[in-house]
Structure 1
Amino acid sequence: MGAFFINYVTEHWAQMSSQQAAYLLSVAMLSFMFGRFFSTWLMGRVNAQRLLLIYALINVALCAVVVLGFEGVSVVALVATFFFMSIMFPTLFAMGVKNLGPHTKRGSSFMIMAIVGGALLPYVMGLVADHSSTAVAYLLPMGCFVIVAAYARAALKKSDCCTPQKQ
């Protein structure tokens, strides 16, 4: 997402220079940091699967705004995605290795290796951006957020069905 940030900002905010867009990227990264701290605090009060689902759905909506390419507004939506993306990897990792028992080391190894997707996605986004536009390339992270939402929803359903009901 960050690899195309400066290109996107200069294309969708009139009179925005690359230098100003780089400053805005640092604001987005600060948003990521604040999101991590705030959301970690929030997880003490909200179920992690539920929070992950909510954040993923919010990012799907924000990416839709980014793809639509509204002047200025889409840039703000792109900055906001960083806040809501902040808890995704640690939460997915914790959910993925939970209850693996003796397979925890192997499972965590596979999850760490899956990070290579973060190295491949910018290449594919670049191909899409070259053949259409930077805005359209953000359909790829949007699809990833849909997958995260589906995983969180499935995990939430599983935990709800297996949790004893209070009387």
Structure 2
Amino acid sequence: MKYVNSRKLLTIFALCATVTISGVILIEGMMGLYLLVATSAFMSLMFPTIYGIALNGLGEEDSTLGAAGLVIAIVVGALMPILQDTIIDMKTVGPFATINASFILSLLCFSFIAVYGYRTLKGHSD
């Protein structure tokens, strides 16, 4: 990240993913699908950036433990499709199609990542 502040990049990409996933929830049809694809584009750099930020400044011994914790977080993230499927199986979710409403989980996750990115941005400068 020679030219771009990684914390700023993470914050911006997470906010953009929050906007696009909100569109997925609110907009049906092809436009919602395009927004879902756009969300994937924003996710492309999020994990390696989170990984780098989280492990930055840790010693050799702590980096090993920290890296293992991040891998465990990925495994826990594997529960998200099960939770999303549970929402999809519901009859209704307010005025939204259950497929669209199931992306509320993703919205919560991206919001959390945006807060994480912002807090690391405020706490450090590259």
Shorter-chain TM-score above 0.5: yes
TM-score, normalised relative to structure 1: 0.68
* Deviation per residue, 1:61-120 (Å, 9 max, x gap): 101100013322111100101110001111111111111213111111111111113310
**Which of 45, 51, 54 in structure 1 is aligned with 2:3?**
45
Bigger Rg, which one: 1
Distance 1:58 1:119 in 2: 23
**Contact conserved, 2:28 with 2:100, CA < 8 A, in 1?**
no
**Structure with the higher helix share, 1 or 2:** 1
CA distance in 1 between counterparts of 2:49 and 2:5 reads 11
Ranges in structure 2 where 5+ consecutive residues have no aligned partner: 93-97
1:134 corresponds to which residue? 99
Across the two proteins, how many residue pairs are aligned to each other?
119
Matched, 1:122 2:81: yes
Deviation >3 Å, runs of 4+: none
What TM-score, normalized by structure 2, do the two folds share?
0.89
Mind listing any 5+ residue stretches in structure 1 that lack a counterpart?
A: 1-42
- Identity over the aligned pairs, expressed in percent? 33
Of the two structures, which has the highest relative contact order with CA contacts closer than 8 Å and spacing of 6 or more?
2
Q: 1:76 aligns with which of 31, 34, 42?
A: 34
1:98 aligned partner: 56
Structure 2 Cα separation of the partners of residues 155 and 93 of structure 1: 13
Question: Where does residue 110 of structure 1 map in the other structure?
Answer: 69
**2: distance between equivalents of 1:52 and 1:154?**
11
